[in-house]
Structure 1
Amino acid sequence: MFSIKEYTREILASIILIAILVVLRMVIAKLVRRFAASSQLFEHRTNLIIKYINILMNVLVVTTLIVIWGVETKDIFITISSIATVIGVAMFAQWSILSNVTSGMILFFSFPFRIGDTIKIHDKDFPIEAEIEDINTFHVSLRTKEGERIIFPNNLLLQKGISIVPTHYEDKEFFD
């Protein structure tokens, strides 16, 4: 029969690991929010990055809990490699989704342009000059001077040359 005394170490290690996870999630969320505030980033983008980091930490904690509770390392590697193979085959057809999510995270941390900036995308077949309306996980919403709305994938923003068009102010002479 199950006895708590037999599993005291595992229970204690699990409680400590979960406590560390909770503290790390709070600390990392504060750090990301501080970075976002200093970079003047929008709240929904900050929340997406925090969500991605939390998912990664949860996967690591679940893996650690599996080790703590005595699953053999050989079995873990077989399971992980099987899951990775299935996901790899399934995602091979969806590589652009992963590419866009990764590009979205890169754009978040490097952030070469902001919402409201007018950019020029240097594409020989389809050059675009438009204002950035929104930056999402998978794409950027652009609006041209003619009012056309363009949805542009994040991964292409990292592959194409982009110029940030400076805002032009009319040179007027001011009189008092």
Structure 2
Amino acid sequence: MVLDLLQDNKKEIILSGIIIIILLVIFYTLNFAVTKIAKKSGFNDARIRLVRRYIHVTLFFTGLISLAYIFGTDFKDLAVIFSSVFAVIGVGFVAVWSILSNITSGVIMFFNFPHKVGDKIKIHDSDFPIIGIIEDIAAFHLHLRLDNGDLVTYPNNLMLQRAVTLIKKDAIEDDAEAV
């Protein structure tokens, strides 16, 4: 019975193995690249884990779609399923578009943000100019410690829309040395 199942689906099983091997190679290559970029740029471990999680989810769904197609799911069926799912997700995300914007900005900031944790920056916001030390860069927002000790969370998408001036690199270390 099991042998018949394996014999009947030999081609699909081989293709599945090839897809899984390719996805694993891509997975490890991207993890290595993200780690190398992050260590070179001095990013903290929380940001590295966050970007890796995005990569894992993307590769998981890519593999799931590929395996469904290999095992005979018709492209029309996949298109109907995914268009329905994306329609529901799209309606849900219209109400929370800022979350997607902040997540996307967080990924962009991971790869291309000139400032890192410990830097003292000034955000040139016309409504609320801020000068503070970056304590954390999370998926949705930045944590800034003001001179008076207050903690401000600033959305990632606004960080990419506003001019930011670097006042002092690694201000946290300088403050610790002064104490």
CA distance in 1, matches of 2:98, 2:123: 19
TM-score by length of 1: 0.90
Q: Which of 31, 34, 40 is equivalent to 2:33?
A: 31
| Structure 2 alignment gaps of length 5 or more | 175-179
User: Which of 57, 82, 85 does residue 83 from structure 1 map onto?
Assistant: 85
- Secondary structure at the residue paired with 1:113? coil
Deviations 1:91-136 (A, max 9, x none): 1111111111100000000022111111111111111111111111
Q: Which runs of 5+ in 1 are unaligned?
A: 170-176
| Distance in 2, Cα, partners of 1:26 & 1:64 | 19
Deviates more, 1:2-11 or 1:146-155: 2-11
Distance in 2 (CA, whole Å) between partners of 1:123 and 1:44 is: 27
Give distance in 2, aligned partners of 1:166 and 1:139: 21
CA distance in 2, matches of 1:38, 1:119: 21
- What CA distance in whole angstroms lies between the structure 1 residues aligned with 2:21 and 2:58? 16
| Higher normalized contact order (CA 8 Å, seq sep 6+, divided by chain length) | 2
Aligned-CA RMSD value: 1.7
Which structure features the higher share of helix residues?
Answer: 2
Name the counterpart of 2:63.
61
TM-score where L is the length of structure 2? 0.89
Higher Rg: 1
Q: Per-residue deviation at 1:3?
A: 2.7
- What is the total number of aligned residue pairs between the two structures? 169
Take 2:104 and 2:14, find their aligned partners in 1: how far apart are those partners?
Answer: 36
Cα separation, 2, equivalents of 1:81 and 1:28: 28
